[in-house]
Amino acid sequence: MIALLPLFLLIVGFAALILGANWLVNGATSIGVKAKLSPLIIGLTIVAFGTSLPEMIINVFSCIKGSPGLAIGNIIGSNTMNILLILGVSSMIYPIDVSKISIRRDIPAGFVATFAITLMANDYFRGTSATINWIEGLVLLAMGAGYLWLTFKKNSEHSEFPELSEDLENSEAPKDIPWNKTIFQLVLGIIGLYIGGELVSNNAQKLALSWGMSESTVGLTVVATATSLPELITSIVAALKKNSAIAIGNVLGSNILNIFMVLGVSSLIIPLPFDAHMNHQLMILFCANAIMLATVFTGKGRKISRFEGSILTLGYVAFMIFSIYE
């Protein structure tokens, strides 16, 4: 009977996440149309920021409350879920077209971000205790700012990158709605994602801890899954609307922002401890990035097909089993 309230709040959180994700996609797409941005850029910036809020909120709250051990596990688990499960499920709904600029800029940025936290977490630069401190956090934030600057700079050079125009042509025509409705939907979407992510994360963690799971396992599995639900739902909604550019832009942008911005801000609050066993999960994240890149160049065109999506999804199931058993 004690677990009934957390279970009820968990369901309420799911509902808030679904509604919030739908509102956010609609509002962000409308803003993108008004600003003449491509769907890819919308996913990489506005939608990615909105869907990364649960990771940010959970990490900040955990650090303030003196439980920073969840922070790195949350990000590693979330990023792995984004690539394997979210891209997998989205591409099974509708094959995902991958822009050339994503191959040249966003996918490499994901590798760089993962490599950076691997070196920092294992204290390659300092040779002391395994933590990510505030100095390294500032470095991550600076790298994130550089990535965002490059993203907007390339979008302004529209004629140099005609593939950005192809995103609009290959996607369902985004709707341009009035400004008051656009802002209203965007605000409601972010609020819904925040409340939903908070409810799901808190109550899923309570249920998991009642089953005797360790903090690192909770971060890698339950918390990571809960905080990645906005990305999952947003990408599914985008895939159903055949906005594949938003689906992959959302995943790539969220992964990059999770490392550069979310971990960067978290480490400014308190040094983030790193368990050496998490290197196994970091290697899996590297492999997930490599598999995603491989799927782009196999088959016809630069696409992640439904079959390749099923392989990614099975890979996530294997990741979860490995993390729990380890």
Cα distance between residue 139 and residue 74, in whole Å = 20
| pLDDT at residue number 264 | 92
At residue 44, what is the residue type? L
- Please answer whether residues 258 and 114 qualify as being in contact, where contact means their C-beta atoms are separated by less than 8 angstroms: no
**Would you give per-residue pLDDT tens digits along the chain (326 residues)?**
456 787 788 778 878 877 887 787 788 778 777 777 766 666 666 666 776 777 787 788 778 767 677 778 888 989 999 999 999 998 899 888 777 777 778 888 889 999 998 888 877 555 455 788 889 999 999 999 998 888 777 655 544 444 444 444 444 555 667 888 888 988 888 888 788 877 876 776 676 677 676 666 777 777 788 778 777 887 888 788 777 777 787 788 889 989 999 999 999 998 888 877 788 888 999 999 888 888 877 766 678 888 888 999 999 999 888 877 76
Residues listed for the chain: 326
Cα distance between residue 101 and residue 22, in whole Å = 26
Cα distance between residue 201 and residue 59, in whole Å = 11
Return the closest-CA partner of residue 308 out of 287, 290, 322, 294.
Answer: 294
Cα distance between residue 156 and residue 115, in whole Å = 29
Provide the 3-class DSSP secondary structure of residue 128. coil
Q: Could you tell me the end-to-end alpha-carbon distance of the chain, in angstroms, rounded to an integer?
A: 30
| pLDDT at residue number 167 | 46
- Please answer whether residues 181 and 22 qualify as being in contact, where contact means their C-beta atoms are separated by less than 8 angstroms: no
Domain boundaries, the chain: 4-325
Q: Which CATH superfamily, name and number, covers 4-325?
A: NCX, central ion-binding region (1.20.1420.30)
Return the closest-CA partner of residue 44 out of 141, 164, 140.
Answer: 164
| pLDDT at residue number 293 | 85
Q: What is the 3-state secondary structure (H, E, C) of 157-217?
A: CCCCCCHHHHHHHHCCCCCCCCHHHHHHHHHHHHHHHHHHHHHHHHHHHHHHHHCCCCHHH
